[in-house]
Chains A and B, each alone.
Chain A
Amino acid sequence: MKIRLLRAACLAALLCIPLLNAFAGPPAEAKGEPILIGTIQPMSGPYAAFGVKFYQAYNMAADEINAAGGIKGRPIQIVFEDSQDKMDLAQTATRKLVENPKIVALMGGRLSGAGLAIAQVAEREHIPYLVDHPSADVITKSGFQWTCRLNPASSFNSVPLQKFLKEYAKDIKTVAVLYENSVYGKGVTEPFKTWLGQNGYQIVVSELYPPLSLDYRDLLNKVKAQNPDLLFLAGNIPDSALIIRQSKELGLTPKMISGAGAGFSINEFIEQAGDAANTVFSTGPWSGNPKDPKVQALAEKFYKRFGHYPKEHEAEGYAAIYVMADALRRAKSLSRSDIHDALLATNLQTTFGPVKFDTFEGYTNQNNGLKNGQVVLSQWQNRRLYNVWPEDVSEGKPQYPGTYK
């Protein structure tokens, strides 16, 4: 009977699970016992695509470092734990990594909520945690001593969009805001809403939606009724792609649609949303200064190896490994506390820009290398994401108003 077959299949699949544990990093040039760095990423689940980006970026950076001799002859190896981007699983995964004495530091997290969960465990268990993507302000605003963050906090995300509105798209008056009910969604959008209010914009719709909903038509219908000039969205895939697709389907045509990084600035977005995503903007962390030859070289290298250009996630992950390696080299010993000290003292130029951890404006150990920089407004044109604002880091002209028919 079908049920028995299903059960047999399940049992067989279950037995294959131990094999999946071979997700450690690739073999390295440097000999010697590998230095283990733990990371918690979504390797499965709806956000698995993000985990893959970090997997690729980390391993590429680690390969390069190991080929050049590693850390004093020892290769670094990244140990991946799957969080499915679920906070409770992230916590369990973190605890598991922490309990392994060979793991000297933690990285990653991906989802802001997971980042917070990991930071708490790190603070309790005294293990250094380098945040490379989780962006919620609260992660570096809670006074954690053992956590430092390379990427911009989420309240920085909308800054390039704000500049664009003030300097270029001055005819925009009304704004609709749809953001997902999560640490990330709120972290990116609340500061933007405050700024909108302070600068005379009218917020005609503001909806906090449950992520991973099946259907956004009714929500978008509500937005269409208000006919906003700007539609601001903060979400991950698959929601981001679905919203854009359904928005096109319903005939929603504002002057500008902008996401806020995450689900709007990655290849999966254009893959899933197709032509509906053309001329959609995204404001958020950059992927390095496009005018920097090192960044260009990295982009080409990445494209050759993985078939797509690196964006914010890959850039963050790649740079983070270099930051970690730099700290490991400078550390007095490979104990967790010495590595922690070395990390906090980082002052490094990376392909993500300068990295220096500072304490300012309530943030602790937050990278402020470019003073509210390292964020950019980009736009999807011809299925590629180009930086369009500010001009000094742009790769092309913005197409405004966008065409969303």
Chain B
Amino acid sequence: MRKLVLALLVVIALAIYPLVVTNHFFLHLSIMALMYALLGMSWNLLGGYTGQISFGHAAFFGTGAYTSTILLLRYGISPWLGMLVGAVFAVLLSLPLGWLTFRLRGPYFALSTLAFAEVVRVIVYNWDSLTGGGDGLNILADLGGIVRFYYIILTLTVAGVLVMRGCVRSRWGYFLNAIREDEDAAEALGVPATRMKLIVLAISAFFVALAGSFFASYQLYINPDLVYESQISIQMIVVTIVGGIGTLEGPVVGALVIVPLSEYFRGLSPVANPLIYGLFIVIFMMFLPEGIVSRIRSLLGRRAPAVAEEHKQVGAGV
């Protein structure tokens, strides 16, 4: 009950935030933070909860971005509708990806997702007539002010949280944990591992694509390097690791920490920004692999609720 009240307060605070804070820069930061929280959460569902570390989520981000943009530029379809179409495409894309790669485990899986995302990027890059190739696509239309974008991403993120929560705090949560801990044992006990993994991948892809479409409409310019780069995948991962892999709040906290820092450094030098990501991954993996949220939890001596022991470390043990 207490948690519910707290959550409601947070949502209300976030909702009235733009009415109070009008500085465009801070709004921009919040938008980015919310977007990365959404991205991190989506990745976390597959990575932290189900134990499948993917380096290829950029493929879904880019698919969302390009789909909605192409639909807008060629057919005049509203990007908000295009967003949904993009998300559906991403889900469709995730099916062959899952089918191809889920038979692999651990590092093999991670590498294959990386390769898959790269293949998608190369195709998009070369499919000049559809995607504008290396030059990317420019959106010349006016899609609304910064406040509108804030509310859209807030809605998407809240929706994401609710969906993630629903997945995790249910029977599914147990299944995912089981798969992460020991997939063979889980299967032996009757957990439909491959099916669960595909479902989780699809959900993950759906939200990542939504974020991608959002990003395209917000930035008004995309190109293959911007939205398909492995950097996007890495950023999702960093946010989650810093916040707490395998926790619900983790990616949100991680985004709140990382995004302002990275935007500040981006202002200093275009290079300092990705440097921060690298630095954070290294430092956290060395000293705080369970992430901020999990550490705070264990410091407070609090145990997570019965379902989905959220403070498990990443693939602990050999």
Do A and B belong to a common assembly? Answer: yes
Chain A residues within 8 Å of B, Cβ to Cβ = 7, 10, 14, 17-18, 82, 84, 86-89, 91, 113, 116-117, 120, 181-183, 186, 208, 210-211
Q: Is the interface of A mostly helix, strand, loop or mixed?
A: helix
CB neighbours (8 Å) of B279 from chain A are: 7
Chain B residues within 8 Å of A, Cβ to Cβ = 125-126, 128, 133-136, 138, 140, 219-221, 223, 226, 268-270, 272, 275, 279
Given A117-B138, A181-B133, A182-B135, CB of A210 within 8 Å of CB of B221: no
- Taken together as a complex, chains A and B put the C-alpha atoms of A222 and B279 apart, in Å, by 43
The listed residue (A17, A116, A117, A211) touching B134 by CB distance below 8 A is A211
- Taken together as a complex, chains A and B put the C-alpha atoms of A10 and B269 apart, in Å, by 12
Contact between chains at A87 and B269 (CB < 8 Å): no
Nearest chain B CB to A257 CB, angstrom units: 24
Given A88-B226, A117-B138, CB of A18 within 8 Å of CB of B133: no
Q: A89-B270, A117-B221 are in contact. List 10 more A-B contacts (CB 8 A).
A: A17-B272, A87-B136, A88-B219, A88-B221, A88-B226, A113-B135, A116-B138, A120-B140, A181-B125, A183-B135
The listed residue (A14, A84, A181) touching B268 by CB distance below 8 A is A14
CB neighbours (8 Å) of A82 from chain B are: 270
Contact between chains at A18 and B135 (CB < 8 Å): no
CB neighbours (8 Å) of B135 from chain A are: 87, 113, 182-183, 186
- Taken together as a complex, chains A and B put the C-alpha atoms of A7 and B128 apart, in Å, by 41
Would you mind naming 16 contact pairs between A and B with Cβ atoms under 8 Å apart?
A: A10-B275, A14-B269, A14-B272, A17-B272, A82-B270, A87-B135, A87-B136, A91-B219, A181-B125, A181-B133, A182-B134, A183-B135, A186-B133, A208-B128, A210-B125, A211-B134
- Taken together as a complex, chains A and B put the C-alpha atoms of A336 and B228 apart, in Å, by 37
Nearest chain B CB to A234 CB, angstrom units: 13
Nearest chain A CB to B272 CB, angstrom units: 6
Nearest chain A CB to B271 CB, angstrom units: 9
Using CB atoms, name the residue of chain A closest to B136: A87
- Taken together as a complex, chains A and B put the C-alpha atoms of A211 and B226 apart, in Å, by 16
CB neighbours (8 Å) of A88 from chain B are: 219, 221, 223, 226
- Taken together as a complex, chains A and B put the C-alpha atoms of A366 and B102 apart, in Å, by 55
- 3 cross-chain pairs, A with B, having the tightest CB-CB distances, nearest first: A181-B134, A183-B135, A17-B269
